[in-house]
A and B are shown apart, each in its own frame.
Chain A
Amino acid sequence: MPVTQATLETIALTRAEYDLICQKLNREPNEVELGLFGALWSEHCGYKHSKPLLSLFPTTGDSVQVEAGQENAGVVDIGDGLSIVFKAESHNHPSAVEPYQGAATGVGGIIRDILAMGARPIALLNSLRFGPLDDARNRFLFEGVVRGISGYGNCIGIPDVGGEVAFADAYSGNPLVNAMCIGLLRDGELMSAAASTPGSVLLTVGSATGRDGIHGASGLASRTFGGGENDAEMRPTVQVGDPFLEKVLVEACLEAAKSGHLEGLQDMGAAGLTSSAIECAERGGTGLEINVDAVPRREEGMTAYDVMLSESQERMLLIVKEGHEGHVSEIFERWDLSVSNIGTVTDDGIARIFENGKSVAAVSVETLVAAPRYRPGGSRPSYLDSLHAHPLPPEPHISIAAQLLVNMLGSPNIASRRSVYQQYDQEVQTNTLVKPGAGDAAIVRIRGTKKAIAIAIDGNGRYTYLEPYAGGAMAVSEACRNVVCAGGTPLAITDCLNFGDPTKPEVYYQLEEAIKGMSAACEALGVPVISGNVSLFNESAGEAIYPTPVVGAVGLLDDATTMLTAGFSNTGDFVLLLGEPATGLEGSEYLAHEYDQVSGQPSINLAAEVSLQKLVVALADDRLLVSAHDCADGGLAVAIAESSIISGYGFSGDVPSNDRWDAALFGESPSRIIVSCAPTDADVITRRAEALGVPAARLGTVGGNRFTIYDVLDLPLVDLIDAHTHGLNRALGMG
């Protein structure tokens, strides 16, 4: 019987893809087999539209132990017999439908990716984007997502050490929820999600399997929203998280991983048992047999199809050495978890599913994972030229400079995030040396060594919208610059590529150019991409989000005591600008916030960025700096003000200007860092900057209780602190 269009739509395959399956099988697939293909050939699992582009990323490096795409997360060596595992993942679509559970299960999923590597999760970060807060639905999504992250992450005892929140019209109806997890591994503890040995046993552990999340990967994560009432009907495809079970799973799985009885460990995430088991067989070059009757279920009447495609959370797949099942079972029983023997690894490369003793699917693993690849081709969006050429608003009178600075510090994109991060446990595990709000990157010490890691997550959709290539390069540069401002040397990055519908040529252009720009920055800075995910089809009512590559960067401090924070710390210290003064207002928060204008052509000089980062790392290593802060959203005036606000020290000085005054204050050209230092160190810093070709200008002096830029503005510091502290709550109508 020929497959109906309705069936194909349910599993989100095209007629051409169906025909390709028939051709490869030399027959029509049955219902269960078609479900397997639907999941594995979904955008979410199969990377149909992005894989050819992802191959542009540099993925290797001296310290890289596991590269992007090889396992559930990438691994970098940090010496002393230790490695860091990390990855970021999006949960945008589920969060748009059900913000609390969508965000919570996003956190759960990324933790299990790290766990599957055999690593102890040691830190979480998140990057969030929503529509403007004057809309009730956006407030609901924002508050729900934050509560979901809080509710899930806090329960598990992994500190949430940093992140970002941004608001723009383009995310109304399609918020971005990207979560990042970092894990720590000792030599010899690395696990692989591979089923390499025929005869090994497949055990599942954790939650029973329910009907939740069926078609989550194919139906929810790989489609656009219509923007109407029907989106709410997607709610049943969002899973419900059980963070307590996840916590117990973490402890039990880490015990099992160390026991020597496991051959492999795998998260059952998107597309559930289907993708987890098939991917293990693919990595191992094996086949497998799964008996769905042995999979514990939450409800009666579930079919083989349901069991294979369920996305019930908090489930892990264990590949256990033959004959070792009893030992593994004992470990889990201590934690009151029962394991189920659901199948075995075979040697013939076929995935066989059995129900009631009968074969209900038999397809070669190789065919299942051979999702077609598309390079639909892009075309340069027509909006680019007009936005690049869009005239700036007239230069305002300088008498309103003080008021503008206060406005900017209180704007939802710049104001303090305290009301968000105080809902997250930032310090459990007692290794968080720098917490949210204090520095450009979080710093987590590595106990038993002198080392620490600096972690930042960053993106800017506006820049990428205005110039996709530059935006991609700037996202990588800024995440690494944040790590550098904490005193860390960037080791590697992970990314979430959040884009619209790639079958639209303009969106594909954005994706391709952004990836090229990111790759160029990675090459220049010497940081490989070790993991990541792609979230396409982020559209609501036909409108794509800003193309938003989000980058998580991890850096190493060989000596944690050389770490830097962003706040001024001593009266009398000098404040220096390292990097070129700003010209222009392209893509700035100032234009967006004050004039509701998104225009101009952002650009970055990667050679200058490399020199700047090299300089600041070296200065930090030699303890010549007191503070360092990236000059980013809001520009130079906002960056200096933030350094003042963090620790309550005033500032007086000049800002260099070779453009209109508002561009000097609020322009956002990249590759600039504000540092403070002891007056006696200023000359050596300037000389070392010169030697690397980095412009260095003395801006002024730390101290007092006023914030003064000579001939431009002069304010009591408390006015800035008030605006910054309460800005977000005021935008929520709670201030």
Chain B
Amino acid sequence: MPSRFAIVVFPGTWSDVDWHHAITNVLGVDAEYVFHKQSTLAGFDAVILPGGFSYGDYLRPGAIAHLSPVMRSVIDFAAGGGPVIGSCNGFQVLCESGLLPGALMRNRSLQFRCHPQNLLVERAATPFTSLSSVGDILSIPVSHGDGNYYVDPEALALMESKGQIAFRYCDPSGAVTEDANPNGSLNNIAGITNEAGNVLGLMPHPERVVERELGGTDGLLVLHSMLESLHEHVG
């Protein structure tokens, strides 16, 4: 059976259309919008929580969105081993919902940042990075004001030891440096997974770099990895 992606839409979400374009027009795979009031994800093989400012980021980014009916289904979907990817605001929602540890605070600069960003692949054994190798350098843009990842030291040590860090901000040579960190994230963390590896949250936007004319195709690596893992899973 062909794969179907669910793209969750909260009020204030704005990367939904970009993901839809990337999956349907570029990848040629079925994707549907799932409104936040919907409470079932039956029939979907993967779930995307896109970027944006759900509920205006009022109170705290993701704080209100994680209470939406659809999030109960996302939690169940993840518990069943289904792949869930949250980018930007989606990452913030995943942290608020407890599917991922930690929190995303205001950028260290106190300013929004939108620019191309180098990422170091730290873990290739996930459904989102399986087509890459550890040590690969990807260029995937960031566009956020609250991407400063924080988690307490004990949890961080545990995450590091269990290989839950998927991506770190790095310079063009792959060095993980302070200068390459766009937001002040702990240990230059750009993306993390849950312990099982089927839930990924990352601040950068893979859906924005899926066509050469838009400045790169490294985002396709994430999408193709997901697709391949779904085929393996089904096959």
Contacts and interface: CB of A to CB of B under 8 A. Distances in A.
Interface of A: 147, 150-151, 154-157, 242-245, 247-248, 334-336, 421-430, 432-433, 445, 447, 560
B110 to A, nearest CB: 9
Contacts of A150: 111-112, 145
B114 A244 contact: no
A245 B55 CA distance: 8
B69 interface: no
Contacts of B210: 430
A336 B64 CA distance: 14
16 contacts: A147-B111, A154-B114, A155-B53, A157-B52, A242-B56, A245-B56, A247-B12, A247-B14, A334-B35, A421-B114, A422-B113, A424-B114, A426-B114, A427-B141, A428-B15, A429-B14
B56 A430 contact: no
B81 interface: no
Contacts of A423: 111-114
Contacts of A243: 53, 56
A367 B131 CA distance: 70
Contacts of B56: 155, 242-245, 247
Interface in B11-29: 11-12, 14-15, 17-18, 21-22
B152 interface: no
Point out which of A147, A154, A445 has the most chain B C-beta atoms below 10 A from its C-beta: A154
Nearest to A336: B11
Contact of B14 (A242, A422, A428, A560): A428
A428 B214 contact: no
B214 A425 contact: no
Given A156-B14, A423-B112, A427-B208, A244 B143 contact: no
B111 A425 contact: no
Nearest to A246: B56
Nearest to B115: A422
Interface of B: 11-12, 14-15, 17-18, 21-22, 35, 51-53, 55-58, 111-115, 141, 143, 145, 207-208, 210-211, 213-214
Contact of B214 (A335, A421, A433): A433
Given A155-B12, A155-B53, A428 B18 contact: yes
A244 B57 CA distance: 8
B12 A154 contact: no
B118 to A, nearest CB: 15
Nearest to A424: B114
Nearest to A435: B215
A151 B112 CA distance: 8
Contacts of A242: 56
A247 B11 contact: yes
B169 to A, nearest CB: 15
Contacts of A151: 112
Contacts of A334: 35
Nearest to A561: B213
A424 B112 contact: yes
A432 B18 contact: no
B63 to A, nearest CB: 13
B35 to A, nearest CB: 8
Contacts of A560: 213
Contacts of B18: 428-430
Tell me whether chain A's interface is mostly helix, strand or loop, or mixed: mixed
B55 A244 contact: yes
> What are the 8 tightest A-B residue pairs by CB atom distance, in nearest-first order?
A157-B14, A244-B56, A155-B53, A430-B18, A425-B143, A423-B112, A150-B112, A425-B114
Contact of A427 (B11, B58, B114): B114
Given A429-B18, A430-B211, 6 more contacts: A154-B112, A155-B53, A157-B52, A244-B57, A247-B53, A430-B21
B120 to A, nearest CB: 21
A247 B210 CA distance: 25
A154 B145 contact: yes
The interface centre, meaning the residue of A247, A421, A426 with most chain B CB atoms within 10 A of its CB, is: A247
Contacts of B57: 155, 244
A154 B111 CA distance: 12
A430 B207 contact: yes
A430 B214 contact: yes
Nearest to A426: B114
B11 A425 contact: no
B36 to A, nearest CB: 10
B55 A445 contact: no
A257 to B, nearest CB: 17
Contact of A244 (B53, B112, B211): B53
Nearest to B182: A422
B22 to A, nearest CB: 8
A428 B143 contact: yes
A244 B12 contact: yes
A426 B215 CA distance: 13
Most buried by A among B52, B141, B207: B52
Contacts of A154: 53, 112, 114, 143, 145
B11 A335 contact: yes
B11 A248 contact: yes
A156 B13 CA distance: 9
Contacts of A422: 113-115
Contacts of B14: 156-157, 247, 428-429
A436 to B, nearest CB: 10
Contacts of A336: 11
Nearest to A160: B114
B132 to A, nearest CB: 22
A424 B141 CA distance: 13
Contacts of B141: 427
Nearest to A448: B25
Nearest to A155: B53
B213 A433 contact: yes
Contacts of A245: 56
B229 to A, nearest CB: 24
A732 to B, nearest CB: 13
Nearest to B141: A427
Nearest to B17: A429
Contacts of B145: 150, 154
Contacts of B22: 430
Given A244-B58, A424-B112, A425-B114, A430 B53 contact: no
Contacts of A427: 114, 141, 143, 208, 214
Nearest to A335: B11
A335 B22 CA distance: 25
A445 B51 CA distance: 21
A447 B14 CA distance: 17
Contacts of B114: 154, 421-427
A425 B88 CA distance: 13
Given A244-B55, A427-B141, A445 B12 contact: no
B184 to A, nearest CB: 15
B69 to A, nearest CB: 13
A331 B145 CA distance: 31
Contacts of B51: 428
Nearest to B11: A248
Contacts of A247: 11-12, 14, 53, 56
Contacts of A430: 18, 21-22, 207-208, 210-211, 214
Nearest to A438: B215
A421 B115 CA distance: 9
A336 B58 CA distance: 16
A247 B10 CA distance: 11
A335 B10 CA distance: 10
